[in-house]
Amino acid sequence: MKLNYKLQGNGPAIIFMHGVFGSLDNLNMLAKNLLSNYQIVQVDMRNHGFSPWSDVMNYQVMAEDIAQLCHNLGLQDVILIGHSMGGKVALQLTQIIPDIIQQIVAIDIAPIQYPIATNALVLNALTQVVSQSITDKKQIISIMKNNELTDATIQFLLKSFKNGQWLFNVDVIVKQYQHLCDWQMISPWLKPTLFVKGGNSNYITAKDYDEIYLQFPNAKIETVIGAGHNVHAEKTAQVLQILQHWLCHQS
């Protein structure tokens, strides 16, 4: 699948991959800071943004999408930075194009299986909105609040609601969500891998460390105090400091 992407800058290539219900602009606060020293590739994952839609959505096919993009752009020696779903895609890519990946940063995600109930409230709210063909933003917000979504989550979702349409494929994401929560253990990848954890998030907990180190023996785990799952947006300065130190130390 040919993904929609934005390409800027010169230097070593960094590919940014967003989480579920997001788009290529979601990690822009990190990308723009690194633009002066790197070639930045920001990607709309399949069924998101302006990339094509498909009934198939799992980590193997999403990783293959990114591998195809790397091939099409002639990228070598790439750095992968992914948040949540995008982080899992980055980790899966070690099984497809291991030789061209130099390092990985996975933001608030671990190589484990998550309970499907993790985003149940979001899935329920979006299903109600789409099944009733609601396009009025005030009604959408009302339904989301009735489903106990936070204001921050609502605003995040509405970034992908343009001209009365969702830019992500609600039906397929809901149907395939089990695959997004799933994870099949992969062969160990020995290159540097950084896991950035939100201190207030439960996406990476101490009980997950064994699985991380088993699959990524040279992993480092950094915790950003006071941040939730969207750690890059909530504590941008701290995440950038961690990233810059990591990239400098690994180069």
Encoding tokens for residue 69? 């993009």
Q: What is the pTM of this model?
A: 0.96
Number of domains in the chain: 2
* Same structural domain, 219 and 241: yes
* Same structural domain, 19 and 74: yes
Catalytic residue selected from 18, 48, 83, 229: 229
Three-state DSSP class for residue 90: helix
Q: Judge whether 48 counts as a catalytic residue.
A: no
* Same structural domain, 78 and 193: yes
Please give the pLDDT value at position 117. Answer: 78
Catalytic residue selected from 84, 160, 201, 232: 84
Q: Report yes or no: 108 and 199 within 8 Å, Cβ to Cβ.
A: no
Q: Half-sphere exposure (CA, 13 Å, Cβ side) for 231?
A: 31
β-strands 165-166, 161-162 pairing = antiparallel
- pLDDT band of 218, cuts 50, 70, 90: very high
In which domain, by residue range, is 149 found?
Answer: 117-175
- pLDDT band of 248, cuts 50, 70, 90: confident
* Same structural domain, 85 and 197: yes
* Same structural domain, 98 and 139: no
Three-state DSSP class for residue 218: coil
pLDDT digits (tens, 9 = 90+) for 66-92: 999 999 999 999 999 999 999 999 999
Please give the pLDDT value at position 24. Answer: 97
Cite the beta strand spans of 24-76 per DSSP E.
39-43
Q: Would the pLDDT of 250 be above 80?
A: no
Q: What is the mean pLDDT of residues 208-231?
A: 97
Which residues are CB-neighbours of 127 under 8 A, at least 6 positions away?
170, 174
Scanning the structure block, which residue is given the tokens 């788009």? 23
Q: Judge whether 71 counts as a catalytic residue.
A: no
Is there a domain that residue 180 lies in? Answer: no
Structural domain ending residue among the three candidates 127, 147, 175:
175
Is there a domain that residue 16 lies in? Answer: yes
In 3D space, the residue among 48, 41, 55 whose CA is nearest the CA of residue 90 turns out to be 41
* Same structural domain, 130 and 50: no
What's the CATH code of the domain at 220?
Answer: 3.40.50.1820
* Same structural domain, 44 and 74: yes
Q: Which amino acid is at 19?
A: G
β-strands 78-83, 39-43 pairing = unpaired
pLDDT digits (tens, 9 = 90+) for 108-149: 999 999 998 778 999 999 999 999 999 999 999 999 999 999
Please give the pLDDT value at position 251. Answer: 58
Please give the pLDDT value at position 13. Answer: 97
- pLDDT band of 228, cuts 50, 70, 90: very high
Q: What is the mean pLDDT of residues 196-209?
A: 97
Own/partner contacts of 213-218, CB < 8 Å, gap of 24 or more, are: 214/185, 214/188, 215/91, 215/111, 215/185, 215/186, 215/187, 215/188, 215/189, 216/91, 216/104, 216/111, 216/188, 216/189, 217/188, 217/190, 218/190, 218/191, 218/192, 218/193
* Same structural domain, 189 and 82: yes
* Same structural domain, 107 and 35: yes
